[in-house]
């Protein structure tokens, strides 16, 4: 019986130097591929048996042995050996030790190059789905919170300056739209990872009569790759998935920034349960929104993961190069960072309470209804630019008087333009101001209710999970 030597064939007389082993080994991070490596090996061995390439009884023995090895490696009963370099060789070595020659036949017709390419696609596809579900859970939390605050108002901002009044529910639903797009990008990236590379070999396929379509179907792929050189060297799906993750993390960062602002003593728009805040080591009065700051900060980390992979790929010749090992850690890091960020964001939204009196009072300060003054004159037949100029003059007049527009007298309005009538005061009522914006995508109450219903219908599948 041949002694196991891992990835070092008899072509090499000695082992790697200790420092080289440390750099060369990937098992300390690619252990995450274990379930996908086992699934791919089971499918491959079953196909080998069906094609008559290995004895059919070996396929059953291999499957049983692989499942046992997976269980023992996962539980810690078996140790990972860095000298065996990676998850693939660790699994194969333990399998061969357990079942002998049947285990040594498993690698027939494949290379670690197409094996890792397959495992990484399986990982990417699986986690794209998991992240999509978490995104939908966050969306549902936002939709539920929006439904609670359909009748509450707050300032809408541009340039972080109070701009126009909106309903709080409309503001929250803006994040639902961002996240809905994020989900679409993740699923699109998943689709791009839908071709199975197994059977591409090291770079030039194999002489064995493999049934690649059988393996692809068993592993849940949509089809097979069509160029063996490209298949083993392709990590485009990693770039795309991390890019989608990075943009989603940026959206979480924007949400985190708004939470930081809303929770500040300057805004006092909301409070957050202490399970998502931290205290100060020196100032006992402080309640810091640390988790909101962290999901804001982690955007830089995930963007860095994307840059790392792009930089690794940019100068590589065909086909497989060991540099591609460096695409794994950024992928794992991006997936796990977003996973944690989404879970925290869900918890924060579910524990967020708004001070609706403060948000409403903020609407009444800062001349947020100035555009309505211009629109009023337009409704009376005045061109918009003239209405805009009149509204600006009235704002300047109100500032000098130290009052809001609604506190001016009818005479004050008419001194600027005779078209103003006493219905201007009803026109400037905040609820009426918002609800006149009654178009698809607008902040009118009935439009918000329509969007809540639409979103809940789309997310209704979560109730069955």
Catalytic residues: 159, 280
* Nearest-angstrom CA–CA distance, 243 and 182: 10
| Token code pair at residue 454 | 């639409």
Distance of alpha carbon 434 from alpha carbon 52, whole angstroms: 72
Please answer whether residues 248 and 139 qualify as being in contact, where contact means their C-beta atoms are separated by less than 8 angstroms: no
User: Could you tell me the sign of the dihedral formed by the alpha carbons of 362, 364, 367, 369, in that order?
Assistant: positive
Residue 277: other Cβ atoms inside 10 A: 18
Q: Cβ distance 387 to 378 under 8 Å?
A: yes
Q: What is the 3-state secondary structure (H, E, C) of the chain?
A: CCCCCCCCCCCCCCCCCHHHHHHHCCHHHHHHHHHHHHHHHHHHHHHHHHCCCCCHHHHHHHHHHHHHHHHHHHHCCCCCCHHHCCHHHHHHHHHHHHHCHHHHCCCCCCCHHHHHHHHHHHHHHHHHHHHHHHHHHHHHHHHHHHHHCCCCEEEEEECCEEEEEEEHHHHHHHHHHHHHHHHHHHHHHHHHCCEECCCCCCCCCCCCCCCHHHHHHHCCCCEECCCHHHHHHCCHHHHHHHHHHHHHHHHHHHHHHHHHHHHCCCCCCEEECHHHCECCCCCCCCCECHHHHHHHHHHHHHHHHHHHHHHHHCCCCCCCCHHHHHHHHHHHHHHHHHHHHHHHHHHHHHCEEECHHHHHHHHCCCCCCHHHHHHHHHHCCCCHHHHHHHHHHHHHHHHHHCCCHHHCCHHHHHHHCCCCCCCHHHHCCHHHHHHCCCCCCCCCHHHHHHHHHHHHHHCHHHHHC
């Amino acid at each position: 019986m041949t002694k196991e030597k891992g990835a070092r064939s008899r072509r090499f007389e000695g082992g790697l130097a200790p420092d080289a082993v440390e750099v060369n080994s990937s098992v300390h991070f690619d252990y995450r591929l274990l379930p996908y490596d086992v699934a791919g090996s089971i499918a491959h061995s079953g196909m080998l048996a069906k094609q008559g390439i290995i004895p059919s009884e070996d396929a059953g023995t291999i499957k049983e042995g692989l499942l046992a090895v997976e269980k023992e490696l996962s539980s810690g009963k078996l140790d990972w050996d860095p000298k065996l370099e990676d998850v693939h060789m660790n699994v194969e070595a333990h399998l061969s030790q357990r079942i002998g020659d049947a285990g040594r036949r498993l690698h027939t017709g494949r290379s670690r190059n197409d094996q890792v390419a397959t495992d990484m696609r399986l990982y990417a596809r699986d986690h794209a789905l998991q992240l999509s579900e978490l995104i939908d859970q966050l969306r549902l939390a936002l939709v539920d919170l929006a439904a609670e605050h359909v009748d509450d108002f707050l300032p809408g901002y541009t340039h972080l300056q109070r701009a126009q009044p909106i309903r709080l529910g409309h503001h929250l639903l803006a994040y639902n739209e961002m996240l809905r797009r994020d989900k679409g990008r993740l699923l699109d990236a998943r689709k791009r990872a839908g071709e199975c590379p197994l059977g591409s070999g090291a770079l030039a396929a194999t002489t064995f009569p493999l049934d690649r379509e059988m393996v692809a179907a068993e592993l849940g792929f949509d089809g097979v790759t069509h160029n063996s050189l490209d298949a083993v060297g392709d990590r485009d799906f990693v770039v795309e998935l991390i890019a989608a993750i990075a943009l989603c993390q940026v959206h979480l960062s924007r949400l985190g920034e708004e939470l930081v602002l809303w929770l500040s003593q300057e805004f006092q728009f909301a409070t957050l349960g202490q399970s998502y805040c931290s205290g100060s080591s020196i100032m006992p009065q402080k309640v810091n929104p640390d988790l909101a700051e962290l999901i804001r900060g982690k955007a830089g980390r995930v963007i860095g993961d994307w840059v790392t992979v792009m930089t690794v790929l940019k100068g590589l010749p065909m086909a497989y190069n060991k540099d591609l090992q460096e695409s794994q850690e950024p992928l794992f890091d991006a997936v796990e960072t977003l996973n944690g960020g989404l879970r925290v964001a869900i918890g924060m939204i579910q524990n967020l309470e708004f001070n609706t009196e403060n948000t409403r009072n903020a609407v009444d300060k800062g001349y947020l209804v100035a555009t309505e003054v211009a629109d009023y004159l337009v409704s009376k037949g005045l061109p918009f630019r003239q209405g805009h100029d009149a509204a600006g003059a009235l704002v300047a007049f109100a500032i000098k008087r130290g009052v809001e527009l609604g506190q001016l007298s009818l005479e004050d309005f008419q001194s600027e333009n005779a078209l103003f009538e006493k219905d201007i005061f009803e026109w400037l009522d905040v609820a009426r101001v918002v609800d006149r914006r009654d178009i698809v995508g607008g902040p009118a109450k009935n439009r918000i209710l329509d969007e809540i219903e639409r979103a809940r219908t789309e997310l209704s599948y979560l109730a069955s999970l």
